[in-house]
Amino acid sequence: MKMTPFKTEQWMTDHENDAVFNLTDTCVQPLHMKELLQLDSDGVLDDVVLDYGTITGLLPLKKEIASLYRKADPENITMAHGCSQANEMVMNEILQPGDHVIAFTPSYEQFVRIPESLGCTVTELVLHEEKGWQPDVEDLRRAFRQNTKMILFNSPNNPTGTVFEREFLDACASLCRKNGCWMFADEVYRSASQPSLFDLYPHTVVTGSLSKMYSLAGLRLGWIAADRQLIDRLNFRRDYSIISEGPLAEAAGLAALKAKKQILARSESIISESKAAVTEWLKREPRAHVQLPESGTVAFLKYDAAMDSRTLAERLLKEEGVFFVPGWCFDCEYHLRLGLTRGRKTMEKGLALFSGFLDRCSSHESV
Amino acid sequence: MKMTPFKTEQWMTDHENDAVFNLTDTCVQPLHMKELLQLDSDGVLDDVVLDYGTITGLLPLKKEIASLYRKADPENITMAHGCSQANEMVMNEILQPGDHVIAFTPSYEQFVRIPESLGCTVTELVLHEEKGWQPDVEDLRRAFRQNTKMILFNSPNNPTGTVFEREFLDACASLCRKNGCWMFADEVYRSASQPSLFDLYPHTVVTGSLSKMYSLAGLRLGWIAADRQLIDRLNFRRDYSIISEGPLAEAAGLAALKAKKQILARSESIISESKAAVTEWLKREPRAHVQLPESGTVAFLKYDAAMDSRTLAERLLKEEGVFFVPGWCFDCEYHLRLGLTRGRKTMEKGLALFSGFLDRCSSHESV
């Protein structure tokens, strides 16, 4: 199976270590192991035996995860190595060569490249910036085919922050009912208050992890929620892949979910602060346009400057230490992915430097 | 991609929790987190920041892993979620529909089912029990084709303990040179003294982990060693899968490899004790035949009794608490996988109970 480089991930890998002001990271400021150990008041981490653990996932952990959904039992959950590997397993399990799938653009490249590598045809529906980064129901109806096997949502969407509207989702569900098409939602950016697609529609599979809102990407603890039949199939498939997620990551994840109120309160506070800094800055910066998302950690900033996004992002990083993923990674020029994850101070300083850079560019142009 | 259930892994998942005397586990008696923390004299685990970590793997860890090979640099290494996921990535990256591959039987089912699921044709060469579980060079020559893309070794082999002989490997390498075929060896059971295929032949990729000889399956820390070009391709692919192995598992793995002398001495002692118990028992038990392996943790026991391996393993577990994976899981009847991982006491007690069971069966038969 051929895979082309994943542009966003490669950009992060190649550049993030040079960032002084990381204005693009999608994970809320990461916790340290020491902080997690302090939150582990029951001491579950101390007693871990380093065997494979419970192959299909630690039951108390699956109970905590199931409680994040209205309609899930632990039997509806299986574990993965991060949300990304969860997504890969779902696509590998369900999709066959010749299937058609519907994804969105701009979105996370995984949802296009993996189906393509499996021999599927992909239609990408445009998320319209002028409609608040929402897709069009008519586009959906035109795209849907007899052999459409899956609609792949990332909700909230990376990089636009789109939370798909109920009317659009209802239209999807209505089409899916006709031919048994799956609705698949990567909800890694979902906040506690946002309804999950798992609770809204049948024949739906969703994924999540502790990486973004829980500040614990380092645990690489992801999961899948689906009907029991699909969970059984995925558990069979896991034996050929990760076998188990492992008792250390699972115990750490259990400690984190038991302390989820504290962790999420910290995250919401960092995101709010970051949003406030952006809002203030936008009042003074007419060359930038951002629709701040209702939930999640990302937004897609549009800028007015005669410079392609890749050049701009590279120069900004080199000259000012300000780090963005360019729209080029999402095939969407004159945009930058904005991560609302580093709090007020970093946001304010980084955005001020960005404005200074735009000043210099425009004065240079006018010379 | 369709996958059928992985018989060995399913057997373990379904039954291992009922084991009183686990005579089949392939991992040396697991370490506890507390023990690993005690070994971590540099305190590398304390300071872990729980972000994605170094995406392509922590450099000091890759240095430690590279030192397990004569010819590897850190640039020849990438990380995976256990050896199993490492194997999956290697096969996914290299194999294409229509390729032919050569595997062995009895062996680890992953090396047949994943190539099949990718649309490859698989020839399984027989490991001959009467030849010390070695394959036949003539069988190899007959099986090798113009479009053979990969020969898949598990060395030492699960379940037979086979370490492939140099003459056979040389014949493979000579055939592979003709058409650019890959030699791929899962060396998860490799001991420190056993040469790696990576050091012996060009165009070779090997995998390993801390699960078996290092007693740390719970870290799910696997790796791949290959030429830089393949490592680059695998690193691109990882972005669509695990993204990173994660800083917690990597820091724990670094601590373990820094203490590898102590950990491996403990393992070798447990394996030696287990072997000694088997050797003693074999002198008194004419109905069992075992070729103890020179390295690794597994052997394939043949028994003389008129009972298929699945029934025998199920009854032994239920009636005596003695746990084996039956030969049925490896398509090889009247055998049981023997794991030399639980030390003298468990081995002696479990094997005595097994003999008692065989006594009862034969007296029942003769009635």
The pLDDT value recorded for residue A3 is 86
The DSSP code for B210 is S
State how far the Cα of A204 lies from the Cα of A186, in Å rounded to an integer.
11
Q: Choose among B169, B247, B273, B263: nearest CA to B215.
A: B263
Count of beta carbons in the 10 Å neighbourhood of residue A59: 12
* Helix/strand/coil percent split, chain B, to 5: 45, 15, 35
pLDDT at position B183 is: 98
Nearest CA in chain B to A44: B33
Q: What percent of chain A shows pLDDT beyond 70?
A: 99
The verdict on a CB contact (< 8 Å) between A242 and B236 is: no
State the Cα angle at A216 between A332 and A34, rounded to 5°.
Answer: 145
Q: From B217, which residue of chain A is nearest by alpha-carbon distance?
A: A51
pLDDT tens readout for residues A232-252? 999 999 999 999 999 999 999
pLDDT for B159 = 98
The pLDDT tens digits for A327-355 are 999 999 999 999 999 999 999 999 999 99
Q: In the prediction, which pLDDT does A367 show?
A: 43
pLDDT at B366 over 70: no
Residues of B in contact with A13 (CB under 8 A): 55-56, 239
Residues of A in contact with B31 (CB under 8 A): 50
From A171's Cα to the closest Cα of chain B, the distance in A is 29
pLDDT at B1 > cutoff 80: no
Instruction: Tell me the per-residue pLDDT of B82-99, one tens digit each, with 9 for 90 and over.
Output: 999 999 999 999 999 999
For residue A362, the model assigns a pLDDT of: 83
| Assigned token pair, A169 | 């989702």
Average pLDDT over residues A193-203: 95
| Residue listed under structure tokens 């899956």 | A150
A365, pLDDT greater than 70: no
Q: Is the pLDDT of residue B367 over 50?
A: no
Tokens 């999956």 locate to: B88
- B242-266 pLDDT, tens per residue? 999 999 999 999 999 999 999 999 9
Q: Do A248 and B219 touch (CB under 8 A)?
A: yes
- Residue A112 has what pLDDT? 97
Determine the average pLDDT of the residues in B71-88.
Answer: 98
pLDDT higher than 70, residue B156? yes
Task: Flag if A93 and B1 touch (Cβ within 8 Å).
Answer: yes
- In sequence order, the 6+-apart residues with CB closer than 8 A to the CB of A365 are A306
Do B281 and B338 meet the contact criterion of CB atoms below 8 Å apart? no
Which stretches does DSSP call E strand in A210-364?
Answer: 221-225, 288-289, 298-303, 322-323, 325-326, 335-339
Query: How many CA atoms are closer than 13 Å to the CA of B249, on its beta-carbon side?
Result: 36
Q: Determine phi and psi for A228, rounding to 5 degrees.
A: -60, -35
CB contact under 8 A, B5 and A247: no
Nearest to B48 among A33, A50, A92 (CB): A33
Residue with tokens 């614990």: A216
Alpha-carbon span A220 to A365, nearest angstrom: 46
| Whole-number percent of chain B with pLDDT over 70 | 99
Tell me if residue B101 falls in helix, strand or coil: strand
Average pLDDT over residues B48-71: 96
pLDDT at position B365 is 61
B-chain CB neighbours of A52 within 8 Å are 27, 211, 217-218
Q: Is the pTM of this model over 0.90?
A: yes
Contact A245/B4, CB-based, under 8 Å? no
